[in-house]
Amino acid sequence: MDAAARTRVVVVDTSLNLGPSEDVCRVVNRANGGQWSTGNESEASMQEFERVMEQEKLLPGISGKLVSLVGEFGDRRSEALLKKPQDGSHRKRKLEYTSDEESWKRPRESYRSRVRKVYYQVDESDMSLVVKDGHQWRKYGQKVTRDNPSPRAYFKCSLAPSCPVKKKVQRSVDDPTILVATYEGEHNHRSLSHAATISLPPHPMGGSASIRSSPSPTATSSVTQQTETETLPNLLIKQMAKSLTRDPAFTSAIAEAISVTMSSWMIAQNQMDRQ
C-alpha cells in the first residue's frame, strides 16, 4: 500500500464560513483526542462524521484529499493550530511571515512566491517522506532541522524541467503520523493525473460531486439539518463544497482532487465491468 492509499480522513470541521481572511480550518488529530482543535462546539458533528465514514467506508480518497485541501487553504490558521509553541529562543530563519499582510521574506527571490501547506495523515509505521499528490518529484536534499527531530526532505518537480515548484516534507513534531508538505511556487504544467482525467459521470454514490453548483450564502455545521434523502457524509461534503466555491483557487484545487479520485474510481469500475 502506498502513501496515497494510506492517506485518510482525520476530522473535518464543516463550519467553514470561508473567506481568505477568516478562520477557515480546524484540523483535529484523532489520535490525540482533538488536542489541536480550537473549539469543540462541532465536536459531536465531527465524531458523527467520522463514525459514519468509518462504518460506511465512504469516499475515503475524496475525504482524505478534502482534509488536505482544507489544511492547505487554511494555511496559516491550520499551521498555528498544528504547531505547538516552540522554544522562543531558537533563531527564526528567513522564510517566515513578517506580518498579517501575508508577505514572505525570500532571500533569493524578489517575487513573492505562493506557499501553501498540505497535511497528510499516514500510517505510523510508514517512515517514508513520500506523498502522492499527482505530481512527479525528485528529491534533492534532506536535512534534520532544529525544531523537529524528524528529517525534512526537499523535492523539486521533475515532470517539467522548467517547473519552479519545490516541496518540503516533514513529519509533524506533534504527531509522527502527520506529514506536512510545504509547496512553493506553482506548476507551469499539468499534473500526471490531470492529464489522464476524462469527463466525469454523476457521482456513483448518488451524492453531489458537483462543487461548482448551488452557491450558498453561508455554510452550517449543523448536522441536524440532514434530510432523509441525503446521507450524512454527502450532506457534509455538500456543505463544505458550497462554502469552498466562494474561492476560485480553492475551487480549482478541489476540482482537481475530486477528478483524480473519480478517475481512479472509473478505472476500477471499468476493470470490474470487463470481468
Partner DNA sequence: CGCCTTTGACCTGCGC
Partner DNA sequence: GCGCAGGTCAAAGGCG
CB 172 within 8 A of CB 179: yes
C-alpha 131 chain-centroid distance:
12
166 touches DNA by CB under 7 A:
yes
Task: Count Cα neighbours of 207 within 13 Å in the Cβ-side half-sphere.
Answer: 20
Dihedral sign, CA of 91, 101, 253, 38?
Answer: positive
Instruction: State in angstroms the smallest separation of the CB of 133 from DNA.
Output: 13
Per-residue buried b or exposed e for 150-161, using 16+ beta carbons within 10 Å of the residue's own CB: bebbbbbbebee
152 touches DNA by CB under 7 A:
yes
Name the residue nearer to DNA (CB basis): 87 or 228: 87
Instruction: State in angstroms the smallest separation of the CB of 154 from DNA.
Output: 5
Contacts of 240 (CB under 8 A, 6+ apart): 12, 14, 16, 66, 70, 219
105 touches DNA by CB under 7 A:
yes
143 touches DNA by CB under 7 A:
yes
Among the listed ranges 39-47, 68-76, 116-124, 144-152, the one in contact with DNA (CB under 7 A) is 144-152
94 touches DNA by CB under 7 A:
yes
CB 65 within 8 A of CB 257: yes
Name the residue nearer to DNA (CB basis): 156 or 203: 156
Among positions 65, 116, 135, 168, the unique one binding DNA when judged by CB under 7 A: 168
Per CB under 7 A, which of residues 52..71 are in contact with DNA?
A: none
CB 265 within 8 A of CB 200: no
154 touches DNA by CB under 7 A:
yes
Hey, what's the cell of 235? 450532506
Name the residue nearer to DNA (CB basis): 21 or 110: 110
C-alpha 269 chain-centroid distance:
25
111 touches DNA by CB under 7 A:
no
212 touches DNA by CB under 7 A:
no
Instruction: State in angstroms the smallest separation of the CB of 5 from DNA.
Output: 17
Name the residue nearer to DNA (CB basis): 33 or 107: 107
92 touches DNA by CB under 7 A:
yes
Among the listed ranges 70-78, 88-96, 187-195, 261-269, the one in contact with DNA (CB under 7 A) is 88-96
Among the listed ranges 36-44, 102-110, 191-199, 229-237, the one in contact with DNA (CB under 7 A) is 102-110
The amino acid present at 208, given as its one-letter code, is S
DSSP-based three-state secondary structure for 138 = strand
The amino acid present at 87, given as its one-letter code, is D
The amino acid present at 46, given as its one-letter code, is M
